[in-house]
Amino acid sequence: MSGLFQGILLAIASAFLFGFYMTPRKGSVLSDFQFPPSMAMGIVIAIATAAAVTGNLSFRPFEGEWLAFLGGVLWGLGTSAYAASVRLIGLSRATPIKDSSTVLGVLVGTIIFREIPPTERPVQFMAALVGSVFIVSSALLLQLTLVPSNSTERRVKAGGIALATAACLCHALYLMPAGRSLGLAPSVFAMLLPLSLGILAIMFVPCVFGSGLVSWLRQPLAGHARAWLAGLLWSGGQILLWNAIARAGIAVSWGLCGLDNAIAIAYGIVVFKEIHVGKHRREVFLGLAACLLGTLLLSVSRL
């Protein structure tokens, strides 16, 4: 099996975990300030455990450690905003907006890291770019389902959309320092460990200044456990994603993991009943079809 094909399979597998990782947020009693630090604890524990089990746990410093830490800070800021947006507008609406970072991530891989140089491979570059646009087009389609019934609901949903958009920008920007760090790191886990510590550091800031550590510690164990589960699912997705990037590059891997759109949408519809399929059948199914077409284009863009 070729490295490119392995990378494509790993990226698609990561999309399933990314599609599910925020589902525990729906049932958690933790506030928007309290959920992220608990989730970050789950991330650090999961990545350190996976590194130890696979024989990749090492505390030896390397040149790009600070870049991985910076990437973790950016991702932590984005995910804190994403967690808050899920509470306001739902999983199936927040995820497509956040995952508009797919297009920005493809541009980072193709232009900054020159994985698919547009001047040298224009056809493949356009396939990657158009494929990523198809994958995130479900965001635009699903916005047609946001019909606020009153002014209060309109303000709440506008705030949710703004938070999801902030998450999109942070999640695209984190690829640059993290991608540079991966090129300098001896292994994927060597990069993921400082990245997870950056996430932990930044996610505790709003908890300390927002609701306080004492209040966070007093929350029920079940609430923290849901956040730990979210961190575990995300960690699995990141391990798969960065192994995919090592084989297929940022442009293709990041684009394909945008399939978590379709997964989160389907889960939000079936389990949480966030979107009435009977009223929005055309928007939902066109969005899912766009995801599949985008996957095909991204898969052939590196051939």
**pLDDT 10s digits, 211-257:** 678 888 889 999 999 999 999 999 999 999 999 998 988 888 888 88
Tell me which residue has tokens 């599949």: 292
Q: Using the 8-state DSSP alphabet, how is residue 27 labeled?
A: G
Tokens for 185, please give them: 């790191």
Tokens for 218, please give them: 């007093």
Amino acid 79 reads T
Q: How confident is the model at residue 195 (pLDDT cuts 50, 70, 90)?
A: very high
Tokens for 52, please give them: 């130890």
**What is the pLDDT at residue 33?**
80
**What is the pLDDT at residue 116?**
84
Q: Mean pLDDT lowest for which of 58-67, 230-239, 291-300? A: 291-300
Domain extent for 269: 3-300
**What number is the average pLDDT over the span 25-49?**
89
**What number is the average pLDDT over the span 164-173?**
90
Tokens for 64, please give them: 């790009």
Tell me which residue has tokens 């019934």: 149
Residues 6+ apart with CB under 8 A from 255: 11, 102, 105, 106, 128, 131, 132, 135, 294, 298
The better pLDDT of the pair 100, 199 is held by 199
The better pLDDT of the pair 191, 128 is held by 191
Q: Could you tell me if 12 and 259 are in contact, meaning their C-beta atoms sit under 8 angstroms apart? A: yes
**What is the pLDDT at residue 184?**
92
Q: Is the pLDDT of residue 34 over 90?
A: no
Report the Cα 122 to chain-centroid distance in Å. 28
Q: Using the 8-state DSSP alphabet, how is residue 210 labeled?
A: I
Q: Is the pLDDT of residue 143 over 60?
A: no
Q: How confident is the model at residue 147 (pLDDT cuts 50, 70, 90)?
A: low
Q: Mean pLDDT lowest for which of 110-124, 171-185, 252-266, 276-290? A: 276-290
Q: pLDDT digits over 93-128, tens only? A: 787 788 778 777 887 888 788 878 888 888 888 888
Q: Is the pLDDT of residue 284 over 90?
A: no
User: Total domain count for the chain?
Assistant: 1
